[in-house]
Amino acid sequence: MKYLLNVFIAHPNQEQFVESLAMEISQLTKINGVKYYYGPQAAVYTFETKTSFENVKSFFDAILGDLSITHILVPIKTDKMSYWLEKEHEKHLFGTDICKTNQEYSEEEQKQLQDQLFLNSEMDEEENEIEKIIRNNEKKSKNVPTLDDLLDKINQNGISSLTKTEKELLNQYSK
């Protein structure tokens, strides 16, 4: 069975800790070895073993749980998971090639969104940058309803069913 182990720890020597844990995990497996990816506060490992789940769980309870190191161990089936990783990390950890490159936002827009979401959460008085980017993107991808579309909607559901934007558009059409 294939497993995914997430370990949440910021060790003073993160690289050494991650490699040391990979060596420990390798005791469980001879199949394809242990693959991992890590950052300053977490590490993700994938490995395959014929050892039962109960024994794998006991192994990690002993080496991580007893030290109060936060971790999550789950059997994995990539066709029953949702994930997105950069191509090289996806290929390395899962051996798959299913993560799609983001086509919805440009790299610059992605960076702006990330900055807004994770680095600068203060709201602009009128509207924040995320809303502006998303709105601009929606304008690009949405079809503007025709006058006939709006009149059909009114006929079916009444004028109160129109959104503010649709009412403004109807007003523009009437000019």
- pLDDT-derived band at 167 (thresholds 50, 70, 90) equals confident
> How confident is the model over 109-159, as pLDDT tens digits?
777 777 777 655 454 444 555 566 666 666 555 577 888 888 888 888 888
The C-alpha atoms of residue 175 and residue 111 are separated, in whole angstroms, by 40
The pLDDT assigned to 95 comes to: 72
Residue 18: which pLDDT band, with cuts at 50, 70 and 90?
very high
- Averaged pLDDT for residues 22-29: 90
Residue 21 has pLDDT above 80, yes or no: yes
- How many angstroms from the chain centroid is the CA of residue 120? 19
**CATH topology (fold) of 2-94:** Alpha-Beta Plaits (3.30.70)
Torsion, CA 119, CA 46, CA 21, CA 40, rounded to 10: -10
Residue 1 pLDDT exceeds 80 = yes
Using CA atoms, how far apart are residues 86 and 104, in angstroms rounded to an integer?
A: 16
3-class SS of residue 102: coil
pLDDT at 5: 93
Domain boundaries, the chain: 2-94, 102-142, 143-175
pLDDT tens column, 54-69: 999 999 999 898 888 9
Q: Does the pTM exceed 0.75? A: no
pLDDT given for residue 125 in this prediction? 45
Residue range 56-102, pLDDT digits in tens: 999 999 989 888 899 989 998 877 776 666 777 777 777 776 656 66
Looking at residue 101, what is its pLDDT? 65
Start-to-end Cα distance in the chain = 67
Q: What is residue 43's predicted lDDT score, i.e. its pLDDT? A: 93
Using alpha carbons, list the distances in angstroms from residue 7 to 11, 50, 79, 153, 154.
Answer: 11, 22, 23, 53, 55
CB atoms within 10 A of CB 22: 17
Distance between CA 135 and CA 161 in Å, rounded? 21
Contact by Cβ (8 Å): 104, 137: yes
